[in-house]
Structure 1
Amino acid sequence: MAMQKRFRVGHGDVFPKGAFIKGEVEKVIDFDKSTQENRVQAVDLNKAGEGTGLPLWQVIVLDADEEAGKKDTAVTVKIAAKHQPVPPENKTPFPWTMVEFVGLTALPYVEYTGSKDKDGHDRTRIVWSFRAEGMVAPGQSASQSAGSSASKGAA
């Protein structure tokens, strides 16, 4: 069997030391369909028209792994949901909310840095695009997540 482009990964595989949301849950903007006066929210559909068709939301996530590289410390996770996902309650004195992602998938791709090495070759690196079905407080069961993050929130 050939590997699919986007594949399932466990939250602990991607964030073994934990993950924290930095900032708010925001709409993903479809820049191809937007104008300066009218920002259009992106939907979960690929170029072949496959996907849920639900609006896309994004959160900036801080990786708590001290060994994570400088460019890997903060990543974006996108969530397809009818309504804006609501993060779990932050019960710490810190401005970041600890989360666990449910239904996490990863898609690797090559990023060109725009520079060349000493031999004139393009500098590239593998980066990851992450999607999740929802987010919950760490340790919360996956069965509780369906009603708590992807389906409740502001319209």
Structure 2
Amino acid sequence: MAIPRAFKVEFGEMFPLGCYMVGEVDQVKDFEASTPAKPVWARDKDTGDFVWQVTVLDCDPEARDKTLKVKVSSPVQPVPPAPMPGLPFIPVEFDGLTVTPWQNGQRIAYSVRAREMRAPRTTAAPVRTPAASKQDAA
């Protein structure tokens, strides 16, 4: 049985209420290969592209971790979507999400990667009212 190292996940499964970019898009250093005098930038093991990091705020109030870092593999720095008037942070979505679990002491942690960062799609989810939910249950 072949168990993948990284598990594919859809954006809506990981961030059912969306997420916001907080901070900047930062290039990730390869800490094992870098020296104080010469930084070496991390590369994706599968594609060879540079690795960039984006800190996001999960909009789900029940999320275990409110902020997390998503690594994006790209040959050039990903460009964030344009800010939206009236919002303090930039809403973003990710394509090609994968999650890799790893052990961090006594806790299981997750490394989140994406192939692409983009502006959210504008399709709205249907609004469910308590009356509609009761009818669906019948």
The alpha carbon displacement at 1:126 in A equals 1.5
Instruction: Give the corresponding residue for 1:75.
Output: 68
Extract unaligned runs of 5+ from structure 2: 124-138
Instruction: Give the corresponding residue for 1:56.
Output: 51
SS at match of 2:13: helix
Does residue 84 of the first structure (1) align with residue 66 of the second (2)? Answer: no
Alpha-carbon separation, structure 2, partners of 1:30 and 1:92: 36
Extract unaligned runs of 5+ from structure 1: 46-50, 113-123, 142-155
Q: Which runs of 4+ in 1 moved over 2 A?
A: 92-95
After superposition, residues 5-44 of structure 1 pair within 5 angstroms as 5-44=5-44
Does residue 99 of the first structure (1) align with residue 92 of the second (2)? Answer: yes
Structure 1 length-normalised TM: 0.75
Residue in structure 2 matching 1:128, options 86, 110, 122:
110
| Aligned-CA RMSD value | 1.5
What's the CA shift string for 1:70-100, capped at 9, x where partnerless?
xx11111001101000011111333311011
Alpha-carbon separation, structure 1, partners of 2:87 and 2:55: 16
Residue in structure 1 matching 2:119, options 124, 127, 137:
137
Q: How many pairs align? A: 123
Alpha-carbon separation, structure 1, partners of 2:80 and 2:99: 21
SS at match of 1:131: strand
Change (3 A) 1:38 1:10: same
Alpha-carbon separation, structure 1, partners of 2:85 and 2:43: 33
Alpha-carbon separation, structure 1, partners of 2:116 and 2:80: 9
What's the CA shift string for 1:84-131, capped at 9, x where partnerless?
00011111333311011001111111211xxxxxxxxxxx12111111
**Amino acid aligned to 1:16:** P
The alpha carbon displacement at 1:3 in A equals 2.7
What's the CA shift string for 1:4-61, capped at 9, x where partnerless?
110210001111111111111000011111111221110001xxxxx10111101001
The alpha carbon displacement at 1:68 in A equals 1.2
The alpha carbon displacement at 1:140 in A equals 6.5
